[in-house]
Amino acid sequence: MGHEEYRVGDWHIVTSELSLSREADGQSQQETLPRKVFEVLLLLVQSHGQTVSREALIEAIWDGNTAVGNRGITNAIYQLRKLLADGDQEVIKTIAKTGYQLLLPVTMLNKDVVPDKPKRIQLGADLRQWGLVAGLTVLAVLAWYLPSPQPEALRYGKPSPITYLEGVEENPALSPDGRYLAFMWERHNEPARIFIQDLHQPEAPLRQVSFSRHAEASPAWSPDGRRLAFVRENDSGQCDVWIKPLDTLEESRVGTCVLNRFHKVLDWSPSGRYLAMIDKVPQQDHSAVFLYDLESHERRQLSQPQSGQQDNQLAWAHTEDRLAFIRYQGGYQAELFTVDLTGRERQLTQDRASIHGLTWSRDDSALVFNSMRDGDHSLWQLTLTTGHIQPMVRDMTPFNIEALAQPGHYAYVRHASLEYLQLWQGERHNNIESAGRDLFAALSPDGSQMAFLSNRSGQFEIWLAQSDGRSARPLTNKEGLPDLPAWSLDGQQLVAAVTVKGKATRLVLFDLAREQRQVLLQDEHLYRNPQWSADGQSLVMASNRSGSWQIWRLELDSGQLTPLTEQGGVFARQDGEGRLYYTRLNEPGLWLKGANEPKRKLIEGLAVDDWGNWLLTDEGLIYLRRGSEQDELVRWWPEGEEVLQLFERGSVKIHRSLSQDNQGQLLLTRLGRREANIMAIAPLEPTAL
C-alpha cells in the first residue's frame, strides 16, 4: 500500500492507514476498512472516470481467484456503498456485464506521490509473464550450481467447490472407499441434518440420512462404510452420540458428548472397534477425549487435560488407532497433540494460537490443521517425522478439514456470514453496520456509547463508538487478542482481559476520561470475562488460578483475590446483595450462589454456547432461549417467566451478544444468513525446469 492521500466526495482517504475520515454534522467520523475492501476502493479512486471490470479487480486483488473474488467484490461494493452513500446519491455505478465506476469527485492531495496500484491492473499480465521467464531462468541457474536444493514449498491451486448449497455445509467426512462425502447441512431456519453426496456423480441428488427436529452434526463412517455415527444436540445444549446403519436408518444411542458449534467432536477408529468423542470429565468443568469400545460397550477417558484446559476437535489416523486432537488453554491458546490407545500423549506444537479443524494426510505422515499461528487463518501441514510446519493455503475463514482419496488433496469448509449490531429502543430497532466484523458490543450505562470488538483495522481490537455507530475509534492497537470489555458504573472506565500471544492474559483498566490505562493483573494464570460488582469496588471474573476455571473476585483497592466458586464458572455477575449469578463451562443453565446459601440452578434453558447471553436487571434476569423454530428473549423472575421478544432461529450470535443500558435499550450482535461451503484443494504439479 502506498502513501497517497485523496479527497473523495467529503472523505479524506489515507492509503497507508487504510482509513477514511470526514466532518459530518459537526462531528468527526473516522473509518478503517479491511484491506481487501480498501483495495477495491483505491482501484476505483485511481481509475476515476473509467469503468473497472470485475476481472481486473479479481486479478489485482484476489490474484485471479475467481471463486473467492466474485464473493469478495460483491461484499466490498456493498460495504463501500453503505459507507460512502449520502442520502439517495449514487456513489458507485454498476455497469451491466462490465464492472463498476466511482461517481464521487476525486482529488489527489499529495501529487508528488506516484500511485502504483493501477499498474497492477494494466501491466499485471505482462509483468507476470516477464516475472515467470526471469524466475525460471534464475531457478535454472540455481539448479545447475546447486545439485541438492531444499524441498519445494507446498503449492496448491485455486480452491473449487464441492458443495455450494444455501446455508451451512460443515463437518465433511469421506467414506472409506473415497466415493461418498457425508456432511452436516444447516439450511436457513432449520436444524442441521446429515446428508451424503456421491463424489463420482456430483449432479446426483443428495441422500438425507437424519431427520430429527434437533441439530445433528459431526458424521463419522464405520470402516466398512455401512454405518454412520453422529452427534445430536437438543435446544438446551445436551449432546448425545448415535449410530445409524445406512440400510435401515434405525439408530441407537451410545453416550453423551460436548459439542462446540461446528467442531468435529466424534470419529470412528480405522480398526472399527472404537468411537472417540469429546465429553465433559465427570465432576469437573473441562472436556477430554473419551473412547467407547463397541465390543465391550465400555467407555474410558483417553486424554488427560489438566484442570483449566479443554480438549476439543479430534481425528483418527487412517491406518492405525492413533488419534490427533486439539488442547485449549483459555480462550485463544491451543496446541496440537496425538495420543495412542494407552493414553500416551505427544505435543506437536508450541504456538499458543487458535486452531480450528484438523485431519491426517492420506498416508498418515502429516497432520493438516487450520491455525492463526502467524496472525491470520491458514491451513498448515505438520510433517510428523521432522516436526516441520509449512503453510498450504491462506483463507480468512476456513474451518474443518478432511483428507480426500487422492494423496495431497483435501476438502475444507469456507465460511461467510454477515454480522451486525442491532440497537433496540422499545419496539423500534436500528441496524449498525460497517465494513468490518463488529461483534459483542456493550452499551455504556447511560446508553450514549458502546464498546465492541471489530476487525476494521485488520485484526480484532476493542473499539469505541457512539451508540448509533458514529465516531468509531480503536481503543487497542496490536496489543493482543482482547475479550469484550465491561463498563464501570459511571461509564468512565472499561476493563478487559487481553491475551498476548505466547504469554498469559493481562487484566487492563482503561480510564477513558484521562486517556490512561493500567494493568491490574498479570501473572502465569489466565483470566476471562471480567465484570464490575454492583458497588463498583471489585471485579468478578473467570480464572484458572486454582487449576480449574472458577469465578474469582478482585478487590480493586487491595488487589486481593478470592475464589467464589468451587465447581466451575465461566461468566458471572453479582447483584447489590452480593449474590452471584454464573454459568459453567460445557453445561447448560444458569446458577445462583448466595452469601450463606448453597448454589442452585435457576434456569435450565440457557444453552451451553450462550454462557454470556444473559443480563441481570432490576426487573429480573433476561436470557436467550433457543428453540427449534425461533429464539426467544425471556425475562425470568422467581414467580415465573415472560417472552419479551421473538427472533429468527439462530439469528442472535452465541457467547455474549446481549447488552442493556440503564434506560432499557438493548444491543445485540445479529447474524445475517450464514453461508459455508465445502471446498476442494489439490497440489500443483512441480514446475519442470
Q: Is the pLDDT of residue 161 over 70?
A: yes
Q: Is the pLDDT of residue 111 over 70?
A: no
Task: Decide if 220 contacts 230 (C-beta within 8 A).
Answer: yes
pLDDT tier for residue 150 given thresholds of 50, 70 and 90: very low
pLDDT digits (tens, 9 = 90+) for 51-98: 899 888 988 887 777 766 776 787 788 778 878 876 656 788 888 667
pLDDT digits (tens, 9 = 90+) for 652-667: 998 999 999 999 999 9
- Segment 306-334 mean pLDDT: 87
Helices (H), 494-550: none
Q: Is the pLDDT of residue 121 over 80?
A: no
Question: Looking up cell 492405525, which residue turns up?
Answer: 320
Q: What angle do CA 261, 415, 328 make, to 5 degrees?
A: 45
Q: Is the pLDDT of residue 573 over 60?
A: yes
Burial of 652 (0-12, 13-18, 19+ CB in 10 A): buried
| Of the candidate ranges 6-20, 355-369, 647-661, the one whose mean pLDDT is the lowest | 6-20
**What are phi and psi for residue 124, nearest 5 degrees?**
-55, -45
**Which residues make Cβ contacts (< 8 Å) with residue 137, sequence separation at least 6?**
none
The number of residues in the chain equals 689
**Which residues make Cβ contacts (< 8 Å) with residue 292, sequence separation at least 6?**
241, 254, 255, 274, 275, 276, 277, 298, 299
Rounded Cα distance, 18 and 7, in Å: 14
Rounded Cα distance, 184 and 244, in Å: 15
Structure-block grid coordinates of residue 404: 480426500
How are beta strands 180-186 and 168-174 bridged, if at all?
antiparallel
Q: Give me the amino acid identity at 199.
A: L
Rounded Cα distance, 335 and 351, in Å: 7
| Sheet of 99-102, strands arranged across | 52-53, 99-102, 92-95
The pTM for the full model equals: 0.64
- Segment 444-460 mean pLDDT: 88
pLDDT at 89: 67
Rounded Cα distance, 160 and 158, in Å: 6
Rounded Cα distance, 393 and 389, in Å: 13
- Give, as one character, the DSSP assignment of residue 118: H
Task: Decide if 277 contacts 289 (C-beta within 8 A).
Answer: yes
Domains and CATH numbers, the chain: 5-126 (1.10.10.10), 160-417+675-681 (2.120.10.30), 419-608 (2.120.10.30)
Rounded Cα distance, 475 and 449, in Å: 13
Q: Give me the amino acid identity at 630.
A: Q
pLDDT at 689: 40
pLDDT at 291: 97
